[in-house]
Amino acid sequence: MKSHAATALRWLDFPMATWRWLRRGDASLKDFRARFAASLGVEPARVHLFGSGRAALHAYVASLGLPSDAEVLLPGYTCAVVPNVFEHLGLAVRYVDIAPGGFNPDAAAVAAAIGPQTRLVVLPHNFGLCMAGIAGLRERFPRVVFVEDAAHAWGSRDADGRMVGTLGHAAFFSFEYSKPLSTGLGGALLVNTEAVWQSPPLHAPAASVVAKQALTLAWHRLVQALPAPWLRGIKQLLRAPTRRLGVVADTPAGELQGSARPDYRLGLHPWSAALGDRQACRAAEVWAARRAQAQVYDTLVPAALRPERGAGDVLLRYPVRLPAGLSREAFAALLAVDDIELGCWFDDVVHPRGSLRYGYCTGDCPVGEATADSVGNLPLGLHAGLSDRHRQALQRRLSA
């Protein structure tokens, strides 16, 4: 049970995406744009493709022309690439703590935090858990722009059945390796205002970059299929050559930490779009599998340790609060004995641990900090096999 990345990919997607790209060329971008828009129930003209989710956010915020004294509110449990966008745009940020027992801020806390200089608020749907109350915030604060961070939440719906991404003025999605739909790197912006929004000029990544992304996706897919002993052996065998040849793609550490600025004008390669189109066409199947797996976890994880979910939530990963007295490392080691990989994702209030934490001071969001220290996550997706052995082992470890 090792599926934390490339969770909607199948082996057949690689040759089929290549064949489609060779036939359609740049039109693959248009095809994927239409397919992704259809999965959200919106017109393709409202969707814009980018080389990353952070590039989509950067482009949208830059287009607003916010004054230099504008303030941005961010969730007190987020990824460093989100506040880094505002650092690079020269905008001040302030954090709103998440709700006790949850993973997102509640609407009342956001409303209380909005001040005279607040011009934009980023609203998260962490782990795919839909944040409630967005419509009420838009109605109460008409001068504030609300942007949904939907990077984890492709397919989630709110209590009224409205799709995540369609609730704010705009939303950004991520297609990175660990996201619900994986193209290697990539992202999308969904704009919900009536005015026509124009994307800035973008350039496609080099073929060598796309090749590294494809190899990395293939590696993640291979990991999901191999028994643990084989996987350990192959990792040992390939570690040195892959590092030397640089064939594994990843977000640079400097970019996550805030010391390096990403290329915000990077677009999505047509081959990557063709790969995304293959996954988007089976959106209903992917979402149903995730919901079914989450329901199984609900029966295995004690109520005090599991997330409170809405009926429309499609989780990216299943967050689990650590049993009392166990560190994340110790709990991960226990689960590894049973071939269950505990994800250590979102391990800091501004993930990852050691990031710049732009605009954040220790103690600003105590609930977010405590949550980051006490949560692991379990895999979901088409390849997250929940065998009887895994179920029994997980229940035993969590109830001990």
pLDDT digits (tens, 9 = 90+) for 48-85: 999 999 999 999 999 999 999 999 999 999 999 999 99
pLDDT band for 397, please (50, 70, 90 cuts): confident
Please check the confidence at residue 255 and state whether its pLDDT lies above 80.
no
CATH 2.30.30.280 fits 282-399, yes or no: no
151 within 8 A of 251, measured Cβ to Cβ = no
How far is residue 400 from each of residues 242, 324, 391, measured CA to CA in Å? 40, 10, 14
Helix (H) or strand (E) holding 62: helix 53-64
Mean pLDDT over 367-376 rounds to 96
- Domain ranges for the chain: 13-191, 282-399
Check pLDDT > 70 for residue 246.
Answer: no
For residue 364, what pLDDT band results from cuts at 50, 70 and 90?
Answer: very high
What digits encode the pLDDT tens for the residues 182-233? Answer: 999 999 999 999 888 999 999 999 999 999 999 989 888 887 766 666 655 6
CB distance 156 to 313 below 8 Å: yes
Token match 């830059």: residue? Answer: 62
| 350-351 and 78-79 beta bridge pairing | parallel
CATH classification for the domain delimited by 13-191, as one of 3.30.930.10, 3.40.640.10, 3.40.1800.10, 3.50.50.60: 3.40.640.10
